[in-house]
Amino acid sequence: MTVPIIKLGDNLIITIQTEMTDDMAVEAQNKILSRIRETEARGLLIDLSVIDVIDSFMGRVLNDTAMMARLMGAQTVVAGIQPGVAVTFMELGLKMKNVYTVLDIEQGLELLKSLE
Amino acid sequence: MVNSITIEISEEGDIVVARQKGRSIAKNLGFSVVDQCRIATGISELARNIFLYASTGLIMILTLIENNRMGLEIIAKDMGPGIPDIKLAMLDGYSTSNGLGMGLPGTKRLMDEFEIISETGAGTEIIVRKWLN
């Protein structure tokens, strides 16, 4: 199971379509970073709308990916965080760093455009 | 107690299986979507701890009926190295595995009740409960 990464202009769109194991998340992180390098992308849009659990490990991978992308010159926008995920994220004590957040992919694309 | 299910944790994919089972049981019991998420996330943290520190163990999910209220009990049991200092393990940001150190204290915040029994060299048992409002 791999995470599809679609190039759209200067941006990469990643739609997480299934619940991920820890290994899959780390693999997706590596793949995203290689694609940034290959495509010289300036923005990442990660759609998490079908994800219904973000635990401390997944939260860390997400933050790390955004930080690494930023080191490579790309901004990260996360779209579609579910209400329950937002609540548990806070209660777990996790923090979102280096990440823009939007409600859906459409808003994400607009935001990426305004960042260019 | 009317129902129980046991999930063996021995590989990484079992973490996902355990939290999916937990969510589906919570949903059937009538927990809100947000509570389902709390329960699934808590199970995920507990199952990962088993996998990370003890390699293998069990997650048991039980339905509770007590004084006209219903709830869910999750028992995470392993025969791993145990937790030498529980107070330290319950501190936000403390980790011996290079993690975030949010797993145990975070899970406690997600649940209504949290108990931890651990003996060095003998294993760890963590019991959490969430009550249906």
Single-letter amino acid code for the residue at A112:
L
Range of the domain at B120: 3-131
What pLDDT, on a 0 to 100 scale, did the predictor assign at position B85? 84
| Residue A114 per-residue DSSP state | H
DSSP string over A74-89: -EEEEE---HHHHHHH
- Report the gap between the CA of B92 and the closest CA in chain A (Å): 8
Q: Are A51 and A86 in contact (CB under 8 A)?
A: no
| Chain segment A53-110, per-residue pLDDT in tens | 999 999 999 999 999 999 999 999 999 999 999 999 999 999 988 899 999 999 999 9
| Distant-in-sequence, close-in-space partners of B58: CB < 8 Å, separation ≥ 6 | B6, B7, B8, B9, B50, B75, B76, B77, B78
Q: Are A108 and A102 in contact (CB under 8 A)?
A: yes
CATH number at residue B49: 3.30.565.10
- What is the ipTM, given to two decimal places? 0.91
Q: Does A82 touch chain B (CB under 8 A)?
A: yes
pLDDT tens, chain B, 133 aa long:
457 999 999 999 999 999 999 999 999 999 999 999 999 999 999 999 999 999 999 999 999 998 889 999 999 999 999 988 888 888 888 777 766 678 899 999 999 999 999 989 899 999 999 999 8
What's the token pair of residue B91?
A: 């501190």
When divided into structural domains, chain B yields a total of: 1
A87 inside 8 A of chain B by CB: yes
Which residues of A fall within a CB distance of 8 Å from B15? 21-22
Quote the pLDDT of residue B3: 76
Q: What's the one-letter identity of residue A47?
A: D
To the nearest whole angstrom, how far is the Cα of A97 from the nearest Cα of chain B? 14
- The pLDDT, as a whole number, for residue B92 is 83
Domains of chain A: 5-115 (3.30.750.24)
